């Protein structure tokens, strides 16, 4: 297999798509720092499935997508493809060329492709498993990984050896098998928990099944009586329904008669309505004709009115247009006059404006010169004013400071006097507070003593109450525990007694003989005469199972009487033990008897030494029946179940029987039986004796419960007496009084301390005030001369300022006069300018007005001619319309008379129809009343049917009985409905009082038992699966261990050879397993001593020596299992020239079998390669690749 090409697009700095083709031999990737050389290695590692961002030199996976540059936008996709030539079928696929591709989108989506078919990362990993190729295999080595191999960081050495030895898949299989083993063990635990729960619930289900059967008997009686009661109710319903149907027939006849009358009247009414419709139609036609004619007249009148209005409008318009023409002509003449006048006036005002402008310019020059002189004088005056103000502020400050010092001195003197007076007063009050504090302290000590006495009493009382509470808790727990035991024993007693009384588990013949005791008296069953300890009951009962149903009779006559009774009654068969036949019986053997000592099998197994117990020694039986038991159990022994040696090897003497204590097996000389033990086995033996023992235990528990209850009552009485004697209220009052006194004492002490502090502060304050007054006097003596000097300077400065101010004022007045003259002329100039501008605008407006008037005169002249023509036309049309209107009024009157006649006929006919409708309405009311009564009867019938249906549903749901079966049933004459109801309610109450039952108890018990057996089988299967998985794990370990050790030995030999070829033949090196007994978990130590050195640790070697040692390990792995290609990323950096040559020579030697890709800066390394790919950044931030084939250059 050979690596043929690498395609990169959008990965890190490769913004454009680049392709690197790989041939046989050594390929170098070179370039300056930061150009993207290592990104090529990262891309190969990434496409092979690397998931660690640290190995890709990135913080997060999104960062590997090209992030853009100054001139390029970021890419949305990173894509790398790696192509292999698979002609040797090293990869387990059918393709001769295999291309793997990995894509990552900026959205976070990613995908893997195998020959452009989408696949999973697991498919890529499985493809290269044990081929020496992988993102973390020894095919890709970086400089930092050399140090990791030397320091064995994170088990890197082991990983390389496991990859080379091909046990990675075994480790994966072992991990998967371990996971399956954990799941199997968890399933096994769950199965055991289920079995525990099922075993716990089976007994409860059996009791529930018996309770359910008793409930069903009461329910059957309740069903029979309820059905009989339902028959009575059905008969009552039938009678009521017959009466209702009779009433319904009467109402239907009455309703039919009324309906016939209504139909007759409605037929006549329909004819009248038809005639009325014809009259209404004629009336409508007449009214429509009249209305149309009236509308025609109104339209004609309206048209005439409109024409008159039009004529008036046109006449008004004629007058208005004539007036406008006259007014516009007069206004035009006035405008022409104004235009001439304004033109002459504008010419005169322009000359005046020019004269004023010359005068304004002259005055402005004079004012500007005066203002410059004024500014210079103002600045000089401002300087004098500033100096004067400064002196004024200094004088003011000095006067103020002097006044403040005098005020402070007076205030301090007053404060000193007041302070002494307050201190004297406080000393008097302090004396009073000292007396109060002494008194309060004495009272507080007395109260604290009384309060402590009460606390001690309350503490002792609480301790007694706690002791009583503890005793009460113990007594209550005892009552609860014993009550539960009492209930359990009582339930067991009731259940056992019920089983004894009902002979549950016995054949019908036995129960028949028990009920008919005439054949004999006090004849027990064999199961009732025996009794033994709980631990032996199952074993003894299983052994005697065929005999448990035998009656024990005194003689054959009693047995014959019972057999005759069964035969005559056809009640089956029964078996009997006849005591007279057992009068001569073997003696009861003891455990140390000679009979057992002689029973030793030929195999040499001592039965007594095996822990045997004679069955007769564990059975308790009345002396009257001892002979029978001696006969049946004379050679029967119990043995521990785990004693398999006796069971398997012992040859038993004739007649001897061994029984397992658990009851799972029994063995004799010729036979053996056994199997599982049922949950209810061991419950039949000694039921009568068990009842006696249970009665005694119940009495004992009842006595204990009563004793504990009496003890509880005594403790509760004592507790109540102690609680009544507490002094909680007195203690609270005393505590409140103590708190009040403490608060008062603290308050007084606080005031006392405040007064003491005040007096001490007053004395200190007196000294401070004296010092401050002395300081103020000294400052005052210094300030007074300074103030006098400042006042003298200020007077001199004031005189100079007054002189300068007079000069400045004179200059200001002259400037003001000249400025006023300039302003007056300037105002005249702007007024004249505005006047000229106004004349220009007025003249322009007049010209515009002239044009508008001329246009309007022209338009109005044309309009006037049109109006005069329209007036003449309307006057001619008005004369013809008056005659036509008079004729139309006469025709309208005739039509209105005809309409009135038709209306009178229509309303007379409508009166007749109204009378007929009233008669029909009365008949309908009568019919509705009949329908109402009929509906009430129907509702009553429906209610009866609903009750009948309810009864039907109840019988169907509750008893699964069809009501049709009861309808034809005769009601019994001798039964009363009320008596049946009472009996039914009584049975219903019994059912309600019976409590909740489990109707599926029997079925549930059978299902649970079946499930129990099924889960037992599952448990067995899981145990077998667990054993199989453990065997598989051991097999994997053995195989992996064998392959690893074989590979390790070969790599060790290769390492010694390669190491000496890189250093000297005399140098020593070795690979050692730190734990040879556990090679699959053992670390691998490297011993390297180049150039005669003896370092204590491999870390003491130089950087170059470490690199060559790591290289020796890598190539020793290559000798065992060559990888198709190998990548060295700047691994040669620490090597000097001599070691570089050794490094290059060994690469050249191994390149005959594998491809080598070397990323390097070293010139010697680059010169020794076959093909060079230069990585450069022609465009900033974008890596590109330039190939150079050195072989062609050499040729």
CA distances, 133 to each of 55, 165, 410, 1125 (Å):
16, 13, 104, 8
- Inter-residue contact 691 to 422 (CB < 8 Å): no
User: CA 615, CA 538: separation in Å to the nearest integer?
Assistant: 12
State residue 18 phi and psi, 5-degree precision. Answer: -130, 155
Contacts of residue 399, Cβ cutoff 8 Å, sequence gap at least 6 = 787
pLDDT value of residue 105? 93
pLDDT digits (tens, 9 = 90+) for 797-840: 788 878 877 887 877 788 778 778 878 877 877 887 787 788 78
Last residue of one domain, picked from the residues 683, 706, 728: 683
The C-alpha R_g of the chain, in whole angstroms, comes to 66
- Is the CB of residue 1087 less than 8 Å from the CB of residue 157? no
Of 88, 90, 175, residue with least CA distance to 139: 90
Tell me the mean pLDDT in the region 977-1006. Answer: 76
Report the C-alpha gap between 889 and 123 in whole angstroms.
Answer: 111
pLDDT for 590: 43
Please, where are the H alpha helices in 128-167?
Answer: 143-151, 156-165
Q: How far is CA 1138 from the centre of its chain?
A: 66
What local confidence, expressed as pLDDT, does residue 684 receive? 66
401 forms beta bridges with none
Residue in the structure block whose two tokens are 């790599």: 1051
Final residue of a structural domain among 683, 704, 724:
683
Residue 1179: what are its φ and ψ, rounded to 5°? -100, 130
Determine how β-strand 636-639 pairs with β-strand 613-614.
antiparallel
Contacts of 1128 (CB under 8 A, 6+ apart): 141, 1147, 1156, 1157, 1158, 1159, 1160
Dump the DSSP string for 1058-1122.
Answer: HHHHHS-TT-EEEEEES-TTSTTT--EEEEEEGGG---SSGGGS-HHHHHHHHHHHHHHHHHHS-
Q: Single out the residue in 648, 683, 718 at which a domain terminates.
A: 683
Range in 79-83, 785-789, 869-873 the model is least confident about: 869-873
- Whether the CB-CB separation of 846 and 335 falls below 8 Å is answered with yes
To which residue do tokens 């609860």 refer? 480
Find tokens 């936008």 and name the residue.
Answer: 73
Band (101; pLDDT cuts 50, 70, 90):
very high
Tokens of 246: 């009779």
Average pLDDT over residues 494-517: 73
Distance, in Å, from the CA atom of 731 to the CA atom of 721, rounded to the nearest integer, reads: 18
Residue 1108 lies in a domain: no
**Is the CB of residue 797 less than 8 Å from the CB of residue 388?**
yes
Burial of 913 (C-beta count, 10 Å sphere; 0-12/13-18/19+)? middle
> Is 80 a member of any domain?
yes
pLDDT: which is higher, 368 or 501? 368
Percent of the chain with pLDDT over 90: 5
Rounded Cα distance between 255 and 251, Å, is 6
pTM over 0.75: no
* E strand segments, 671-819: 672-674
Asked if residue 408 is part of any domain, the answer here is no
Q: Distance between CA 1088 and CA 1097 in Å, rounded?
A: 9
Question: What is the biggest distance separating any 2 CA atoms in the chain, rounded to whole angstroms?
Answer: 183
Residue 354 pLDDT: 82
Three-state SS for 642? Answer: coil
How many CA atoms within 13 Å lie on the side-chain side of 59?
0
Domain hosting 125: range is 1-134+1131-1195
Q: In what order do the strands lie in the sheet with 1182-1189?
A: 140-142, 1125-1129, 1155-1159, 26-30, 1171-1179, 1182-1189
Cβ burial, residue 642 (10 Å; 0-12/13-18/19+): exposed
Give the distance from CA 302 to its chain's centroid: 84
Other beta carbons within 10 angstroms of residue 49's beta carbon come to 19
pLDDT attached to residue 881: 62
CA 324 from centre of chain? 91
Q: Report yes or no: 427 and 759 within 8 Å, Cβ to Cβ.
A: yes
The residue to which tokens 């030995």 are assigned? 1049
Q: Is residue 230 assigned to a domain?
A: no
pLDDT at position 505: 62
Residue 234 has pLDDT above 60, yes or no: yes
d(CA 979, CA 963): 22
H/E element holding 82?
Answer: strand 77-85
**Phi, psi (rounded to 5 degrees) for 562:** -65, -40
The confidence band for 221, taking pLDDT boundaries of 50, 70 and 90, is confident
Which has the closest alpha carbon to 843: 332, 341, 334, 331? 341
The answer to the question of residue 124 being in a domain is yes
The residue written with tokens 């978990």 in the block is: 1081
Q: Could you tell me where the DSSP H helices lie in 879-996?
A: 881-954, 964-967, 977-993
Q: What is the C-alpha to C-alpha distance for residues 230 and 957, in angstroms, rounded to an integer?
A: 14
Confidence band of 989 (pLDDT split at 50, 70, 90): confident
Return the closest-CA partner of residue 774 out of 412, 399, 403. 412
- The separation between the first and the last C-alpha atoms of the chain, rounded to the nearest angstrom, is 28
Q: Would the pLDDT of 1118 be above 90?
A: no
pLDDT digits (tens, 9 = 90+) for 1145-1167: 888 888 888 888 999 988 888 88
Q: What total number of domains does the chain contain?
A: 2
Residue 923: which of 250, 261, 271 has the closest Cα? 261
Classified as helix, coil or strand, 55 is coil
Q: Is 98 helix (H, G, I), strand (E, B) or coil?
A: strand
pLDDT of residue 66: 92
Average pLDDT score over residue span 507-520: 77
Pairwise CA distance, residues 547 & 527, whole Å? 8
Closest by CA to 13, choosing from 83, 82, 72, is 72
Mean pLDDT across the chain, nearest whole number?
79
Continuous segment of H or E residues that includes residue 83 = strand 77-85
Q: Is the pLDDT of residue 73 over 50?
A: yes
Q: How far apart are CA 459 and CA 454, in angstroms?
A: 9
Give the pair of three-digit tokens for residue 961.
């009985």
Sign, Cα dihedral of 517, 521, 522, 524 = negative
- The helix/strand/coil state of 735 is helix
pLDDT digits (tens, 9 = 90+) for 569-620: 887 888 888 888 886 544 444 443 334 434 433 334 455 455 678 888 888 8
Share of the chain above pLDDT 70, in %: 91
pLDDT for residue 967 is more than 70: no
Task: Please say if the pLDDT value at position 1092 is more than 80.
Answer: no
What is the model's pLDDT at position 605?
43
Which residue, among 68, 36, 67, has the nearest Cα to 1177 in the 3D structure? 36
**Element (DSSP H or E) covering residue 442:** helix 168-502
- Residue 57 located in a structural domain: yes
Strand order in 77-85's β-sheet? Answer: 18-21, 2-9, 77-85, 97-105, 110-114, 117-119
Q: What is the pLDDT confidence band of residue 193, given thresholds at 50, 70 and 90?
A: confident
Task: Provide the pLDDT for residue 80.
Answer: 95
Which residues are within 8 A (CB) of 191 and not within 5 positions of it... i.e. 6 or more apart?
Answer: 1015, 1018, 1019, 1022
Q: Report DSSP letters for 710-723, one per residue.
A: HHHHHHHHHHHHHH
Contacts of 441 (CB under 8 A, 6+ apart): 745
The answer to whether 1145 touches 2, Cβ cutoff 8 Å, is no
Contact assessment for residue 434 and residue 441, using Cβ atoms and an 8 Å cutoff: no
Residues 6+ apart with CB under 8 A from 322: 864
pLDDT tens readout for residues 534-569: 778 788 878 887 887 788 888 888 888 888 888 888
Tens of pLDDT along 323-368? Answer: 877 887 787 788 788 888 778 877 887 888 788 888 888 878 887 8
Q: Do the Cβ atoms of 255 and 931 come closer than 8 Å?
A: yes
Q: Per-residue pLDDT averaged across 1077-1094, rounded?
A: 82
- What is the CATH classification number for the domain harbouring 1135? 3.40.50.300
User: What is the helix (H) or strand (E) element at residue 113, kind and residue range?
Assistant: strand 110-114
CATH of the domain at 601: 1.20.1060.20
Which is nearest to 101 in space by CA: 87, 83, 89, 85? 83
Residue 634, pLDDT score: 84
**Cα dihedral sign for 300, 303, 305, 311?**
negative
Q: Which residue has the tokens 């075994």?
A: 170
Which of the 8 DSSP states describes residue 12? T
**Any domain includes 269:** no
Query: Which position has the token pair 């690749």?
Result: 1185
């Amino acid at each position: 297999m050979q690596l043929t090409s690498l395609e990169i697009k959008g990965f890190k700095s490769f913004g454009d798509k680049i392709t690197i083709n790989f041939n046989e031999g050594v390929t170098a990737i070179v370039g300056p720092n930061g150009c993207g050389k290592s990104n090529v290695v990262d891309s190969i590692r990434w496409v092979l499935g690397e998931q660690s961002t640290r190995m890709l030199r990135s913080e997060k996976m999104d960062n590997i997508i090209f992030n853009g540059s100054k001139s390029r936008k970021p890419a949305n996709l990173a894509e790398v493809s790696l192509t292999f030539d698979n002609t040797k079928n090293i990869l387990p696929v059918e393709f001769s060329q295999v291309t793997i591709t990995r894509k990552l989108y900026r959205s976070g989506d990613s995908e893997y492709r195998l020959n452009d078919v989408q696949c999973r990362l697991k498919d890529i990993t499985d493809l290269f498993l044990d081929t020496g190729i992988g993102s973390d295999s020894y095919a890709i080595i970086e400089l930092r990984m050399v140090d990791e191999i030397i320091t064995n960081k994170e088990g890197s050495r082991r990983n390389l050896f496991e990859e080379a030895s091909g046990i990675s898949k075994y480790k994966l299989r072992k991990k998967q098998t371990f996971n399956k083993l954990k799941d199997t063990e968890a399933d096994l635990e769950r199965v055991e928990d289920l079995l525990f729960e099922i075993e716990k619930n089976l007994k409860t289900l059996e009791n529930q099944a018996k309770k359910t059967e008793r409930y069903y008997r009461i329910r059957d009686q309740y069903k029979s009586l309820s059905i009989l009661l339902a028959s009575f109710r059905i008969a009552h319903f039938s009678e009521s329904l017959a009466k209702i149907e009779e009433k319904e027939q009467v109402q239907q006849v009455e309703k039919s008669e009324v309906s016939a009358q209504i139909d007759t009247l409605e037929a006549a009414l329909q004819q009248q309505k038809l005639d009325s419709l014809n009259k209404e139609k004629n009336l409508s036609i007449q009214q429509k004709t009249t209305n149309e004619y009236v509308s025609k007249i109104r339209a004609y009148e309206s048209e005439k009115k409109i024409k008159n209005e039009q004529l008036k409008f046109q006449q008004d318009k004629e007058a208005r247009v004539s007036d406008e023409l006259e007014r516009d002509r007069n206004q035009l003449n006035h405008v022409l006059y104004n235009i001439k006048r304004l033109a002459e006036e504008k010419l005169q005002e322009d000359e005046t404006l020019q004269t004023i402008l010359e005068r304004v310019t002259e005055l402005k020059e004079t004012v500007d010169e005066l203002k410059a002189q004024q500014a210079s004088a103002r600045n000089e005056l401002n300087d004098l004013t500033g100096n004067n103000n400064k002196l004024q502020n200094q004088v003011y400050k000095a006067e103020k400071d002097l006044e403040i010092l005098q005020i402070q001195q007076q205030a301090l003197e007053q404060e000193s006097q007041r302070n002494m007076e307050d201190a004297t007063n406080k000393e008097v009050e302090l004396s009073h507070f000292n007396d109060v504090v002494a008194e309060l302290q004495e009272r507080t000590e007395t109260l604290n003593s009384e309060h402590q006495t009460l606390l001690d009493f309350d503490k002792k009382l609480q301790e007694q109450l706690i002791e009583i509470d503890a005793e009460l808790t113990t007594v209550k727990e005892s009552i609860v525990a014993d009550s539960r035991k009492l209930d359990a024993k009582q339930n067991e007693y009731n259940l056992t007694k019920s089983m004894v009384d009902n002979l549950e588990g016995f054949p019908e013949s036995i129960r028949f003989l028990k009920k008919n005791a005439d054949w004999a008296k006090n004849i027990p069953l064999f199961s009732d005469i025996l009794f033994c300890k709980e631990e032996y009951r199952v074993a003894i009962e299983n052994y005697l199972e065929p005999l448990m149903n035998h009656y024990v009779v005194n003689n054959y006559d009693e047995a014959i009487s019972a057999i005759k009774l069964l035969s005559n009654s056809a009640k089956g068969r029964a078996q009997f033990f006849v005591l007279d036949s057992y009068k001569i019986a073997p003696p009861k053997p003891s455990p140390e008897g000679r009979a057992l000592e002689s029973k030793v099998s030929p195999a040499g197994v001592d039965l007594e030494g095996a822990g045997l117990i004679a069955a007769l020694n564990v059975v308790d039986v009345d002396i009257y029946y001892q002979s029978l038991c001696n006969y049946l159990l004379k050679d029967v022994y119990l043995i521990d179940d785990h004693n398999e040696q006796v069971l398997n090897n012992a040859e038993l003497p004739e007649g001897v029987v061994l029984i397992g204590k658990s009851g799972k097996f029994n063995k004799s000389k010729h036979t053996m039986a056994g199997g599982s033990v049922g949950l209810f086995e061991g419950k039949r033996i000694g039921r009568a004796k068990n009842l006696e023992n249970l009665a005694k235990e119940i009495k004992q528990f009842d006595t204990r419960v009563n004793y504990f209850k009496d003890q509880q009552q005594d403790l509760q009485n004592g507790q109540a007496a102690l609680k009544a004697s507490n002094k909680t209220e007195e203690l609270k009052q005393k505590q409140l009084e103590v708190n009040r006194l403490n608060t008062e004492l603290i308050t007084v002490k606080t005031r006392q301390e405040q007064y003491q502090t005040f007096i001490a502060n007053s004395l200190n304050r007196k000294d401070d005030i004296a010092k401050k007054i002395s300081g103020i006097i000294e400052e005052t003596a210094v300030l007074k001369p300074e103030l006098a000097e400042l006042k003298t300077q200020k007077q001199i400065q004031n005189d100079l300022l007054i002189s300068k101010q007079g000069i400045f004022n004179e200059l200001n007045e002259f400037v003001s006069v000249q400025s006023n003259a300039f302003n007056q002329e300037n105002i005249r100039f702007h007024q004249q300018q505005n006047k000229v501008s106004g004349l220009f605008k007025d003249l322009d407006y007049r010209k515009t007005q002239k044009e508008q008037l001329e246009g309007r005169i022209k338009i109005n002249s044309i309009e006037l001619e049109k109006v005069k023509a329209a007036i003449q036309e309307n006057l001619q049309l008005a004369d013809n319309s008056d005659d036509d209107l008079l004729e139309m009024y006469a025709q309208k009157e005739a039509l209105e008379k005809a309409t009135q006649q038709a209306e009178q006929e229509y309303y007379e006919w409508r009166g007749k129809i109204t009378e007929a409708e009233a008669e029909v309405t009365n008949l309908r009311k009568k019919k509705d009343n009949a329908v109402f009564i009929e509906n009430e009867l129907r509702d009553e019938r429906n209610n009866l049917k609903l009750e009948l249906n309810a009864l039907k549903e109840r019988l169907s749901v509750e008893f699964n009985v069809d009501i049709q079966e009861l309808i034809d049933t005769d009601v019994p004459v001798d039964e009363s409905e009320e008596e049946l109801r009472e009996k039914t309610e009584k049975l219903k109450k019994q059912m309600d009082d019976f409590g909740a039952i489990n109707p599926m108890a029997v079925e549930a018990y059978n299902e649970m038992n079946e499930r129990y057996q099924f889960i037992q089988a599952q448990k067995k299967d899981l145990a077998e699966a667990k054993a199989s998985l453990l065997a598989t794990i051991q097999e994997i370990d053995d195989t992996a261990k064998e392959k690893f050790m074989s590979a390790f030995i070969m790599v060790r030999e290769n390492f010694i050879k390669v190491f000496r070829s890189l250093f000297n033949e005399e140098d020593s090196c070795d690979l050692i397993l730190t734990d040879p007994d556990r090679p699959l978990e053992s670390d691998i130590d490297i011993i390297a001593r180049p150039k005669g050195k003896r370092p204590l640790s491999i870390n003491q070697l130089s950087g170059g020596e470490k690199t060559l040692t790591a290289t020796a390990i890598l190539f020793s792995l290559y000798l065992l299992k060559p990888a198709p290609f190998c990548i060295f990323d700047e691994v040669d950096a620490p090597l000097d020239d001599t070691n570089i040559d050794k490094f290059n020579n060994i690469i050249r030697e191994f390149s005959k079998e594998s491809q080598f890709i070397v990323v390097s800066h070293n010139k010697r390394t680059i010169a020794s390669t076959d093909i060079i790919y230069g990585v450069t950044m022609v465009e900033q931030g974008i890596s590109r690749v330039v190939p150079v084939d050195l072989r062609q250059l050499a040729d």
